[in-house]
Structure formats: C-alpha cells, structure tokens
Structure 1
Amino acid sequence: MAPSIQNLGWFYKNEGVQQPAMQSLFLTGLTLLGAYIFTIWFISYIRFLLSLYVLPGTQLRTFGSPSKTWAVITGASDGLGKEYALALSKAGYSTLLISRTASKLDAVANEIKQKFNTPTRTLAIDFALNRDDDYARLQDAITGLDISILINNVGVSHSIPVPFTETPEAEMETIVMVNCMATLRITRLIAPGMVDRKRGLIITMGSFGGLIPTPLLATYSGSKAFLQQWSTALGAELAQHNITVRLVQSYMITTAMSKIRVPTVFVPAPRPYVRSVLASIGRSGGAQGFMYSATPWWGHAWMQYVTNCFVGGHNWMLLRYNVWLHEGIRKRALKKRAERKKAQ
C-alpha cells in the first residue's frame, strides 16, 4: 500500500529531528575511538622512554655469582663477541670463548688474562661444517662448568647483496648452519644445565634484517627471522625455570660483517653497543610489543619504534627502499671486485 501524504510528512519531519542526533552520536564515537587510540599510543610511548632511558636493567649477578660461574661466548674472536668476552671478564666471570680461528681466540684470551686475570678457555670450531665431533668436544668442554650466561653471537651474512636465484648454494648452507643450526645446537647443550640450576641468561644476537624482509639478503634475512621466532618460543618455555631469554635486535654496527668503520649515532662501535646490551637486561628498549626481545642501543631503538608506529616492517615502500639500497650496494661491490681483478 502506498504511504499517504500525512505519513510521508511524519517520516520526513521525524527524520529531520533524528539526523542531528545521529550525527552527534557518530562524532562522539569517533572522538572516543580517537581518544582510545591516542591513549594506547601514549602509554606505549611512555613505556618506550622509561625502558630506554630511565628504568635499570637486571644486574648480571642475578643469573649467577661472577666469581663462581661461567659465560660462554660464540663468535668471540673479534667484533661484538670479543667485546662481550672482555665485558663479562671485567665483571668477574670465567669465560669459554668459541670461534673458528684458534690464534684469534688465543689473542683474546691473553688480553683477558693481562687485563682481568679471570679464568678463560678457548675452543676452535668452524660452525659452518656442522660436525658432530665438534659439538662432542663442546660437550666435553662444558662438562662440570656452572654456566650462567650464554651469548649466541656467532653469525655470518652474504659476502655482498645478491639475488636469491644467484646465491651460491655453499653460501646459503653456511648462513643457515652458522646462524640457525649452530645457535640451536649450542643452546641445546647448555640450556639443560640452566634448567637444573633454575637460573641463567641466554642472549642471541638478532638483526633488523629479521624484522624487516631484506631483498638481496634473503637467506640472511630469513635466518634472523627464524631466530626471532625461536627465541620468543624458547623464552616462553624457559621463563618458568627462572631463565631469561633475550633476542637482541640491532641495525648496523662497526664490525667486519657490516664493513663500516666509522661509528655514528645509528652505527655504534662494538664496545658501547655491548655495554648498552648488558646494562639493559630485562628491558625491551625499542622492541615494544616483541616478547623476549630487546633493542637497547638508543639510535636503533628510535629507528625501530618509529618504523613500527608509522610505517610497519612489511610496508611496500620500505621493501622497495630496501631493494634500491641493496641493489646500489651490490653494484658498487661488483665494480670494486672488477677493478681489483683488472689490477691483478
């Protein structure tokens, strides 16, 4: 039945009365939603500032008495590994240094003896080979030791940025064996003792390459993403045993891997970087929202926080920037390689 003129008039009259009320309700909802989003962001921002600049980290002796326990450091012959070894020796810990080159390990051990005179042992292992007898030697080396700290620092990347389809198979295998398998096998040998003693600290070195997919470093990027997921799962498992697990996220550091020599705000030298890691155990820094992770260096922390808040690690523009950046690095590296070959 068609509506009468009177009914239509009633409808439009009431519609005109209801419309401002609906608009007001809609605007109120938007205001409340905006206030909620701002509050969440503000709380996150305050937590970020407190974690990065104000709140102290857990003291190392919480994980075991320095004079009675050991720290195991992989990749300890130079760069970050060497600085971890020196810092923990200075704190009074006995150290077991593991890396590929025995002569470099001996040099670090001698430096520790001269500076701090703390007990130090070395073990040369080429983790790229993934040999069972090497891990058997490691098992023998740690038998009877009260290990309170494990630093999973050993790692390797591509020699230069390279498309995945052109990546040498040997390079792929090395990256996976060193970055992933070695970390798993070492932790599998040491963590059970920490569980028995109900204390311990496991630090694994991650990378922004594991947070942000990195074209032309695909295998390396994937290996660091694996460590992110594994560390989070491991941290949840071991928390009940009073063991602290931290994946430490970093951007560039002036090490042999980065091939950068001059430190900046965003590319620190190994010594101050390691100092920031050990001073902020238990604090997430820039890794807000990432369980069992930390980004302690303030320059890196701001980079991660801003990226997470305003860009997102999987943003297509960021991916395209990474493609452009690493294509440029690859071209320059290939040019230098050609020039050296021509000069020979």
Structure 2
Amino acid sequence: MTFQQETMEHVNNYLDKLTDFRAADMSQSQTALVFGLGLVGGVWLLTQLLTFVRVLLSLFVIPGRSLRSFGPKGSWALITGASDGLGKEFALQIARAGFNVLLVSRTESKLVSLADEIKSKNPSTQTKILAMDFAANKDSDYEQLKSLVDNLDIAILVNNVGKSHSIPVPFSETPDDEMKDIITINCTGTLRVTKLVTPGMIQRKRGLILTMGSFGGLLPTPLLATYSGSKAFLQYWSSALGSELEPYGITVQLLQAHLITSAMSKIRRPSLTVPTPKAWVKTALNKIGRRGGSPHFYYTSSPYFSHGLMAWFITCVVGVWSNWLKNYNLNMHVGIRKRALRKLERSKTK
C-alpha cells in the first residue's frame, strides 16, 4: 500500500467516524426536541385539566362569600335598572338577605310597586326610590342620587341598568339614537353611579360592586356591534377597577350571562341554558368571589352552571376568535334579525 493510499484510508476512516458522531449527535438532538415538545404538551394538557376541574368546583361545589360579609345590618344596597327582570330580582333577594335597598330606574310607578312588594315581604326593610332616565344623562339626576348616597352606608352596588339593540342590526344601519343610548346607559351610566359610591366604600374599607356583563362582551358579536363593544368595555373596566379597589377590602365582580328570560332577550320560556331571572340571580348571589366558567378573566364570574360551562368552552377550548364561532354567532343573529323583520311586517299589515 502506497503512502497516498494509506493516507486516503486514514482520511476516510476519520470521515466515517465524524459522520457517525454527527448522526449520533443529531439523534440525541431529535430525541431532546421530541421530549421537550412532549413535556410542553403534557404541561398544557395538565393545565387545561386543572382549569376544568377548578371550573367544576367553582360552579358546583365551592360556595361564594356571604352577602352579610360586605356590610352590617342596616347597611344599604343600590340597584340600578331595578324595576324589571334581573334588577327586580336583585332587589328582592338582597332585601331578603337583610339589606335596605335604594332602587333606581326610569319608571317611578314600577319603583313604587316594587318598594311596596319588598316592604310587604320584609317589614323591617327600608326602601328609597329614585326615578331617573340614564339615557338622558342629566347632571341633576346624578346630583339627586349623590345626595341620597352620601347619607347612606352603601355596602352593595348592583350596576344592572343596560340597553341592547331592539333587533340585531348591521352597524352601518344602527339608528343614531339607539347607538347613543346604548353607550350612554351601559357605559356612562355605570361609571357615573360607581364613581358616586366608591368613595364611601373606600372610607369604610368594605363593599361589593356587581356589574352586569354579557357573552356579547366575551365574544365579538356581529349585528350587535355597539352593544357587544359596550359590554367588552365593562369587562376590562371591571377588571381594572377590581385591582384598584381590592386593597381597600372592596370586591368587584363582573357577572357574565348568556340568555335569560327577559324583555331584553325577548325569550319567555326557560330552559337548561336560558334560566329565569330568579334562578340566575340566586346563583349569582351564592357565588360571589368565585369565577365560575371564566378562569382567564380577573374579577369576573359566569356563575350559572350552563353559562359557566359555555364560557369555559368558548375561552379555553374553541377560542373567542375562532372563525367557526364567529360564523355561528353571525348566522344566529342573521336568523334572529330575519324573524324580527318578518314579525314587524306582519304587525304593519295588521
């Protein structure tokens, strides 16, 4: 064997060993990558499982804080939009829990009737009423409310007043007055009332602020764009407010709800996913401080069991920006709009 042949043999042997080394190194890298991806996937699955278990415990097992922990006997609850639906139920059930109630809504006759009903069922309960139109946004109304609030120990505030579209409607066709009223009532009204109440709560270092949210704020909702945007605003505002007020012993909670039998939803018959106001409010008041099916939002709860499971599925499984969910939501409201327009045409012919 010549010197050149011997040299070439050594070179080839070296290259073969180098190739084997690289192959082994590549195999180790691939194994490490697969292991790493498996570990990440396992952690994600475990996190999802733990989240679901927490949702189930929150909805079905763990009770919420007692209402009495937010204020002593003789303290007051202020409920806006109190004359009908959820507002009326909040007033009745909070009064039954031993709080005096300040009822605020647009129609004075309904407020008088509700106050009489509360006093007949709870003779020791004090009631005050204030008729004001939140859509008008009058400073004089808020001055009247302030004069009442300043003289009372407001332990609970329920921001229930709200307005939606009369029927699903494209944003470009939304009447200007309807658009203005939705923003003024849902956003401006809620903020102004809360701002009147919070100084006293901060001074007393206790209190509960409940604000009615909606799946329309959780999920972008075509044909209800202005309403959906207003509820999304309340979602993030409540989360920020809750962080600000927690050091003062004040609990802030946005209550997410899907459909409930009410004049706003135009649904009369309850079902598994559409509870009555009485059933929904009872659950909400029993789950104060629990998140229900809203594990990704701070200071937020979807307390009713079917709504909580739906919220968990939307946020943790499907994702709020899912194309399928967007199309489903759009098609549902297109159908509602068509039925509403047909009903309107029939009423005109009659």
TM-score strictly above 0.5: yes
Gapped regions of structure 2 (runs ≥ 5):
1-7
CA-atom RMSD in angstroms: 1.5
Which runs of structure 2 are paired with 1:1-344 in the superposition (5 Å)?
A: 4-65=11-72, 67-117=73-123, 118-343=125-350
In 2: Cα distance, 1:17 partner to 1:231 partner: 56
1:91-143, Cα deviation, whole Å (9 max, x unpaired): 11110101000011111111111111211111100000000111111112223
Q: Which amino acid aligns with 1:121?
A: K
Q: Which amino acid aligns with 1:90?
A: R
In 1: Cα distance, 2:84 partner to 2:27 partner: 70
In 2: Cα distance, 1:328 partner to 1:208 partner: 18
- 1:31 CA drift (Å): 2.3
- 1:19 CA drift (Å): 4.3
- 1:190 CA drift (Å): 0.8
SS at match of 1:128: coil
In 2: Cα distance, 1:276 partner to 1:323 partner: 29
SS at match of 2:209: strand
- Matched with 2:3 is none
In 1: Cα distance, 2:23 partner to 2:82 partner: 76
- 1:42 CA drift (Å): 2.1
- 1:316 CA drift (Å): 1.7
Greater CA drift, 24-33 or 207-216: 24-33
Q: Which amino acid aligns with 1:17?
A: A
Q: Which amino acid aligns with 2:200?
A: G
In 2: Cα distance, 1:230 partner to 1:29 partner: 39
SS at match of 1:129: coil
TM-score (norm 2): 0.94
| Runs of 4+ that moved beyond 6 A | none
Greater CA drift, 80-89 or 43-52: 43-52
In 2: Cα distance, 1:198 partner to 1:188 partner: 15
Greater CA drift, 137-146 or 260-269: 137-146
